[in-house]
Structure formats: C-alpha cells, structure tokens
Amino acid sequence: MEKLSIILPIYNEAGNIGILYIRLKEIISNIPNICYEIIFVDDGSKDESWLLIKELGQYDSCVKGITFSRNFGQQAALTAAYEYASGDVIISMDADMQDPPETIFDMVDQWRKGFDIVYARRINREDSWLKTWTAWIYSRILEAVSDVKIPADVGDFRLLDRKVVNALLSCSERNLYWRGIVAWVGFKSTFVHFKRPLRHSGKTGYTWKKLIKIAVDGVTSFSLFPLKIAAFVGSFVILTGILMFLYVTYDSLFRNVFYPLFKWLVIIIYIFMGIQMLLLWLIGEYIGRIYEQQKGRPRYLIAHQINFDQQLNKNEEKCKKNISYKYKNIKLIKSKMSILYK
C-alpha cells in the first residue's frame, strides 16, 4: 500500500485547521489503496494553532505535529516537513483553504501515471488586484531571468515523489527557495489546474516585507541577472561618459565654448555615487548569502512534536482504520474536538 504525506505549514491558522482536516479526510478516504499521514508544522503561531494540532493528534495518530521555538518562515517550515515526511508521495499545500483539497485527486492520478512532480497551477485567483498583478509580474520576471526554468503561476501546492524529496534534501543551501529548488532538480513533471479561492478564515501571514524577501530570494538564488544589470549600468555610464567627454572637447576646441569643470564634476560624481550604492547593494546581497551559508546555523529549531515516535510510524493498520471512515463520522469528530467547534 502506498503512503501519502500531506504537509502543511501553519502560522496563525486556528480558524482553518479544523475544516481543513475534515476536508482532507474526506478526500483521502476516496483515494484507493493509500495510507496517509498529515503533518502540521506550526511556525511559531501566536494563536491557538498548536493547541488544535495537539487535539487532532490525540484523536488521530496519523496527524503529526511540529512546532518551532519561534517564527522561522514558511520555507523553513516546508524544510522541516519534507525532512520528517515518510510517505512515498508528498503533497505540500497552504492551510488557508486557498489550495483546494479536491485537487489532490488529480495530483495523485498524475503521479500514478508516472510523473514525479505535479504542480498545481492557478488559472485565476480571487485576491486583490494589486496582489494578483504583482504576483503575475513577479512570476514572469523570475521565469525570464532565472537560469532554471521556474514555472509561472505555481506556488507551494505541489506533489513530489519520494525520490524527488530525497534529491531536494541533499541540497545544503541556507536560503532555500523551494519553488526554484524543485524546478532545479528536474525529474518528470506535469501540471493540474485549479481556481484559487479566497481565504476561509483569518489573515495571511505574508506581509509585503516577507513577500519582497521571498522575491529577492527567488531572483538571487537562481539567477546572476542582478550582477549582469550592474555590468550593463557600468557599461552605459562609461559609454555616456566617453560621449560627454567627446562633446565637451569638440565644443571647447571648435566652438570656443567654456565649460566650468566643477559643473561636470558635480554631475558625474553624483551619478557615480548612485551607481556605487546600487553595486554595493548587489554585491552585499550575494556576500550576505555566503555569510549566512557559512555560519552553519540550523534552518529551524523544534520546540515540541507529536506522534513521531517509531511505534506510531509503524502503526499503518491504525492509519488504514482512520482512512476508512465516511462523511457521517464528521459529527463524531466535531464532538471530540471541542476546542475547534466551541
């Protein structure tokens, strides 16, 4: 029997965990010949997310949980989930219900047809126009400048075969950008398409600051294009400087026009100050990544974890029993998870 691992980074998702769990159970129960585990990784949530995960773990031993000592970011949460997942196939998704669980049917079907990576591609999204357009523009820019072909309009909702995950975990980079790393490892891939709805509950944990950091991570991790921009800017400055010098020389020699030297020096120095700041920022970004890599600190620190002991990992029979339930058992689940539905 094949084993499916569903991994879920969590940050302040107390309003979504219960309904997501029920939806996932409904989906998994209709996939034939498969066992499962659901791994919640609490990325230092400030609400009751970890309390709810623990209650689910007490009811269902195939629900496993990890909580960090503080907020390390979604990419670190995905790293922990991949490292702890034991399935033959691993599906990562957001916990805000914007990644429809029903898409899992198509993803598993494509995997059983022989694909190692199945991307879930958004065909539309019910977000604000600003977020929609900035995401669209960024994905196109990243696709254009990256040394690796990173698919556009895909997020962290994807299916990976076990051998792909093993390949990913062999990467020792500090600043992991999983969308790029997955594209970099290769393997046979395909797409399933879905419509991205609004969040079911709560607010997104992605501030503009975090979104900009991820955007910078994506570009600097998989492209030397920023350094090439610096070369283009430097070449342009040199060329315009030569043209300016030739023009001033011609005007002075043949038209007897007098140009005070300080005027040109002020302009040129001003321009070069801006160029130097830009180049220093670009160089500093890459040096900073080398520094972070060399420090060798762990990507995350675990405060607590549940249901990861060896006996529970081997207890596949209980997983099979849990997976066999039908929709009528949802009332029983609700009654046992009083915190979720009080």
Q: Mind listing the pLDDT tens digit for each residue in 104-130?
A: 998 999 999 999 999 988 877 555 556
Based on the fold, state whether residues 116 and 245 are members of the same structural domain. no
3-state secondary structure of 88: coil
Question: What average pLDDT does the segment 256-271 reach?
Answer: 73
3-state secondary structure of 65: strand
Q: What is the pLDDT of residue 341?
A: 44
Based on the fold, state whether residues 236 and 184 are members of the same structural domain. no
Based on the fold, state whether residues 69 and 45 are members of the same structural domain. yes
Based on the fold, state whether residues 205 and 275 are members of the same structural domain. no
Based on the fold, state whether residues 263 and 285 are members of the same structural domain. yes
Full domain range(s) for residue 268: 225-295
Q: What is the pLDDT of residues 2-61, one digit of tens each?
A: 899 999 999 888 888 888 899 899 888 888 888 889 999 998 888 888 999 999 988 888
Give 323's Cβ-side CA count (13 Å radius).
21
Alpha-carbon torsion 197, 200, 203, 206, what sign? negative
Q: What is the pLDDT of residue 108?
A: 92
Q: Which region among 185-199, 203-217, 267-281 has the lowest average model confidence (pLDDT)?
A: 203-217
Q: Which region among 18-27, 80-89, 290-299 has the lowest average model confidence (pLDDT)?
A: 290-299
| Sheet with 2-10: strands ordered across | 189-196, 117-125, 154-161, 89-92, 2-10, 34-42, 63-68, 302-306
Based on the fold, state whether residues 259 and 198 are members of the same structural domain. no
32 belongs to a structural domain: yes
Give the strand pairing for 89-92 and 154-161.
Answer: antiparallel
Number of domains in the chain: 2
Based on the fold, state whether residues 248 and 196 are members of the same structural domain. no
Based on the fold, state whether residues 104 and 59 are members of the same structural domain. yes
Based on the fold, state whether residues 215 and 331 are members of the same structural domain. yes
Based on the fold, state whether residues 266 and 170 are members of the same structural domain. no
Question: What average pLDDT does the segment 317-322 reach?
Answer: 49
